[in-house]
Structure 1
Amino acid sequence: MNLSRKTQLQPRLRSAACLFFCMVVCTIVCGQTLAADSTGTTPPRPNILWLTSEDNGPELGCYGDDYADTPCIDELAARSLRYRMCWSNAPVCAPARTTIISGMHATSLGGQHMRSSASLPEGMKLYPQVLREAGYYCTNHTKTDYNFRESDSDAGWHESGRKAHWKNRPSDDTPFFSVFNYTISHESKIRNKPHTLVHDPAKAVLPAYHPDTPEVRRDWAQYYDRLTEMDAMVGAAIAELTEAGLADSTIIFHYGDHGSGMPRSKRRPFNSGLQVPLIVHVPEAYRELAPADYLPGGISDRLVSFVDLGPTAISLAGSAPPANMQGVPFMGKHAGDAKTLLFGYRGRMDERIDMVRSCTDGRFVYMRHFYPDRPYLKHVDFMFQTPTTRIWKQMNDAGQLNDAQSKFWQVKPTEELFDLQSDPDEVDNIAQLPQHAAKLAEMREATKQWMRSTGDLGLLTEAEMHRQSGPDAPRTLALSDRFDVDALVDAAWEAGDAWQACDAHTIAAMQKLCASDAPGIRFWGCRGLALGLASHGTVLSNEEIASAMETLMTATEDPNASVRVAACDILIRINDTGAQQRAAKELMRLADLPEDGYFVGIAALNVIDANREAVLRHSGKTFESLSKIRKDSPKRGGDYVTRLLTTLSQPQD
């Protein structure tokens, strides 16, 4: 920590009360928290305290960030084990919390979409329920956002809310598991005004993908200010524990819930959106539960992720994780073998549909894009409330960005490979370099096999997942014989490859998929034809184009709505009046008819938004005619339809 800079910065905090609070807490925590263990009998099982913070990556002093002022967390790290690489699995709160609470990848539950309201299989236990059965008093203060339907959101806490606290346990000898979640570092707080900056914007170190403007520097400086405020809250929680005489009987975790709230971190499954700090303190009395590499002030190279957190808590409590949990405990009685790879995912993010899968070995990051024809950064209303996003987009439209900065407003390659050692900002795609061919092939195959083994429900559109599952839980669907996971993985991969190379053989292969009895396979067949025509239409022969067009025109009458959307997605872009007319009318119908389903409406509106002029010209309707879908939208997700309709009423980006 830079003490001289800290001394200069503190008088500029927003209020004297805030200044006093931070000074007192940091004095307590840095001076005496977690010092010598108190006397007395150590309980047979440890208490467990999780201190989580929202929307922050490893931008902390203890992770080598010189711009950060986080003395309380730095002090905790000096006495604890810091994990070098921890992934949140999802780059946004709800799917990440789905993963934590279930001990399963959100993609296995259909919860990878933002606010997906997935259902849970009957009898499935979440980690607080397992801990409760093990005799722990379990509290959550305060955020849930587990991405489940309302009837499944209880999770089994003794208390969950603003009054939830380990102090409320029935007796002093009852072990507790308590979560405290701090929202001060959330994305919304970056743009919260008025705010007197503490960190000097001129000293902010900007990532290569952000333009260097006063707006961007201010947002980064305010983000670091919020981390300092969050740090004081963490310190206060530790001080409270210490003052209660529980420092020697409590294992403490501190972690962020995904990457920073700055654009191209949050919502994108790059390392910048997935890597979070993870610091674990194990008192001396429980060192037999600590990992083999535990050393106060040490760094662990073990790869861990959010899917492992619940199983690890259960293991620390002395119980075995339920068989359905996919995570591997990295501490405790049931600790498992270290992983060689971590995986990440993105589905629909608010109103924008996308599908990405990520993989890392700690140095290299592999990304597979299943919608490569859509830009990295599409208009998401909540993200565009951040000044950095708006100025970044304005400069891109004005042609004022360099290659690294403008890349993220463009369409994507099917796959990317980044070397964090030489390119920590992940702007240089090395997937095509021959010297990395072996690493690319290894991580590509590992990602495919992981999708197979975990029953990745992202292989079905969100609308199709809900249609097929009906009253059953999506996980029940994934484990059933209703679709062939292997065949879906292969189809999705083949469709993506059409973006990179398309010829008569590719068209024939996609047409074969379009003839499948399974609507999920037909969807990927249409996606493959769409990607092939969009990227290689100028080099295909007239016969090949005509053949693909005939298949897609037929698909606009497919009995499955998701297949029709996929066919229209490319037909509306083709310079053919007949194709555009059919696609425009079908898209407007799909967006307007509630019987086709809310999620079909979102998919259709995404395509309409990218092709507004053609849809208006050929459909004979106006966007105002779609307003009735607002009435038919689910309560939690209705805002996303409203946002899309609002976007359609404004000038195109």
Structure 2
Amino acid sequence: MLLRSLLFLPIVLLLATPNSGRGADSPPNVLLILVDDLKPALGCYGDPVAVTPSIDRLAASGLRFENAYANQAVCAPSRYTLMLGSRATSTGLYGLGGSLRKSLPDAVTMPQWFSRHGYYTQSLGKVFHIGHGNPGHPESFDAPHFKDKVVEYVLPESTGGKLTREEAYFNNAKPGVPNHELPRGAAWEAADVADDAYADGRVAAETIRRLEAYQADPDRPFFIAAGFARPHLPFTAPKRYWDLYDPAELPMPEYAQPPAGAPGYAAKRGGEITQYKPLPERGQIGPKQTRRLIHGYYASVSYVDAQIGRVLDALDRLGLAEDTIVVLWGDHGFHLGDHGYWTKHTNYEQATRIPLLVRAPGVTTPGSAAGQPAESVDIFLTLAELAGLPAPRGPQPIDGLSLAPVLRDPEARVDDHVYHCFPKGDRMGRAVRTQRHRLVEWRGPGQGRASADLELYDYQTDPLERTNLAAEQPETVARLRAILDQHPEAVSDAPKPNRPGPRPKPNRSGGTTT
């Protein structure tokens, strides 16, 4: 039996500080790199076609979590889980327009916790979700937020010179109302332009300027969250990144049907992908457009990889790399035609599995990898412990655990599963993922356990999720359901204030081979 530890074990890092101007026992800086819609389509995760030398270099200098998962596969809630250390099922923040301060007016975010303990906190690009009526949360940071675009075009023909549907949503130009009267923007764009023509290039440049300013006047340790938009749709990236790939060699979906025996409402239909031309607003996307979209996704990943490389190069050039903890996190995965689905918004593997890389000088072993299941909510406590800060406490429930023991020893284990969720209409799908299985339990308001819909997948025998095995393997279902039942039920709104964290963690069962 593997248990998530209830203990918070602070450590002090003795890091070399060649050019920082601070003492050798000073707290480390923190650089948190957030990438929108990034699945583990990366060379360091074994993807045979991905051209990602910068992220691969970061992985080679730190630790790679092989089994990391989002707590909910959609932008705003996923970022709240990261920044609060609280799952959506604890906060009730499930939607794109969910307001943190309306639901949790006194919640303490990760940057606020670091600021309270002497850090100068800054944010650039997409950190909290902005758009869809959501203003984000710039007040979490000491410096004014550096905002840039998520949906952006440089070619007139991509928009017809008009405000497009998704631009309106992400600019909060028409929040909270359907925008079907607006035209659709292009799903992809391959313009022959410089990297800084798009937002991610500008975010990288501004992040470098912030690092240079710090290096010139290292008053307090920095906590910088740099958020990159690609590979979020539209797949707009400079042409040279498209040219890195031969479309004929890109991987096409191996299995493009919904899982047999799965509830119909668990499927992903339409949604975000239909808001872009020339894709069909109804019906399936054909092979030619599928290949073009996959090409665009990989080109966008290579583009953002280059921007991350610019930032990592600046850390090296400024002598800050040995003083700085670097974390790279994808907010959730992305369907690329598997099951016939696109984008995220499901409980399936392609939507929930994320890359998570950590380089902590003096702690992580270069080029190491861990099988420890990791959740987005774990990062808050992990970074606090690595920085020698007290365990985070706030009125919000703290659901995460510190992964620092695993960073010190990749064979260490603090738990044997991850927990995630996704709401569909009035139903909530709560899920546990172990090394081998995923169980999803779907329940509506007032629905008892006996009448719940269940999904069970065995990734050892069926990695493509072809068949729901819940009816065929009742013993496995019962074992996994016992784990799921030890998690609190999902709340429909925010919890009451003044709840201390971390919450007691129940004993769990299941084992890493479940």
TM-score range, shorter chain: 0.5 to 0.7
Per the normalisation by structure 1, the TM-score is 0.52
Change (3 A) 1:197 1:451: farther
Residue 116 (structure 2) pairs with residue 133 (structure 1): yes
Shift of 1:198: 4.0
2:414 to 318, 333, 338: 338
CA distance in 2, matches of 1:333, 1:204: 34
Counterpart for residue 428 of structure 2: 355
Give the greater-gyration-radius structure (CA): 1
Change (3 A) 1:116 1:81: same
2:437 to 350, 360, 364: 364
1:445 to 482, 499, 509: 482
Q: C-alpha deviations, 1:138-194, integer Å up to 9, x for none?
A: 111122435897596622443421457344459314211111111121132279999
Change (3 A) 1:142 1:300: same
8 Å CA contact retained: 1:302, 1:339 = yes
CA distance in 1, matches of 2:457, 2:358: 28
Larger relative contact order, structure 1 or 2 (CA cutoff 8 Å, min sep 6) = 2
5+ residue gaps, structure 2: 1-15, 148-205, 258-285, 446-451, 500-514
1:318 to 388, 394, 403: 388
Change (3 A) 1:122 1:39: closer
8 Å CA contact retained: 1:106, 1:112 = yes
SS in 1 for 2:440: strand
Counterpart for residue 496 of structure 2: 476
Shift of 1:442: 2.0
Q: Which deviates more from structure 2 when the two are superposed, residues 163-172 or residues 68-77? A: 163-172
CA distance in 2, matches of 1:427, 1:192: 36
Residue 309 (structure 2) pairs with residue 235 (structure 1): yes
Residue 354 (structure 2) pairs with residue 280 (structure 1): no
1:96 to 62, 78, 89: 78
Change (3 A) 1:198 1:149: closer
CA distance in 2, matches of 1:115, 1:100: 17
Counterpart for residue 292 of structure 2: 218
Counterpart for residue 206 of structure 1: 252
Change (3 A) 1:38 1:228: same
How much identity, in percent, do the aligned residues show? 27
CA distance in 1, matches of 2:419, 2:491: 15
Change (3 A) 1:416 1:278: same
Could you tell me which amino acid in structure 1 is paired with residue 293 of structure 2?
D
Shift of 1:84: 0.6
Structure 2 counterparts to residues 31-180 of structure 1, below 5 A: 39=18, 42-118=24-100, 119-146=102-129, 154-162=139-147, 165-169=210-214, 171-180=217-226
Change (3 A) 1:77 1:333: closer
Q: C-alpha deviations, 1:506-541, integer Å up to 9, x for none?
A: xxxxxxxxxxxxxxxxxxxxxxxxxxxxxxxxxxxx
Change (3 A) 1:117 1:193: farther
Change (3 A) 1:44 1:195: closer
8 Å CA contact retained: 1:254, 1:279 = yes
5+ residue gaps, structure 1: 1-36, 288-293, 373-412, 459-464, 466-473, 480-653
Could you tell me which amino acid in structure 2 is paired with residue 426 of structure 1?
E
Counterpart for residue 457 of structure 1: 491
SS in 2 for 1:218: helix
Shift of 1:304: 1.1
Change (3 A) 1:63 1:321: same
CA distance in 2, matches of 1:195, 1:236: 15
Shift of 1:439: 2.5
Counterpart for residue 466 of structure 2: 427
CA distance in 1, matches of 2:136, 2:458: 43
Could you tell me which amino acid in structure 2 is paired with residue 201 of structure 1?
P
Counterpart for residue 184 of structure 2: none
Shift of 1:423: 2.2
CA distance in 1, matches of 2:351, 2:96: 15
Q: C-alpha deviations, 1:632-651, integer Å up to 9, x for none?
A: xxxxxxxxxxxxxxxxxxxx
CA distance in 2, matches of 1:131, 1:113: 26
Q: C-alpha deviations, 1:351-372, integer Å up to 9, x for none?
A: x665322211122111122369
Q: C-alpha deviations, 1:342-387, integer Å up to 9, x for none?
A: 1111126xxx665322211122111122369xxxxxxxxxxxxxxx
In terms of fraction of residues, the more helix-rich structure is 1
CA distance in 1, matches of 2:444, 2:234: 28
Could you tell me which amino acid in structure 2 is paired with residue 140 of structure 1?
S
Change (3 A) 1:228 1:196: closer
SS in 2 for 1:206: coil
Could you tell me which amino acid in structure 1 is paired with residue 495 of structure 2?
R
Q: C-alpha deviations, 1:464-503, integer Å up to 9, x for none?
A: x4xxxxxxxx221897xxxxxxxxxxxxxxxxxxxxxxxx
Shift of 1:229: 0.8
8 Å CA contact retained: 2:241, 2:299 = no
Change (3 A) 1:442 1:177: same
Counterpart for residue 344 of structure 2: 266
8 Å CA contact retained: 1:197, 1:221 = no
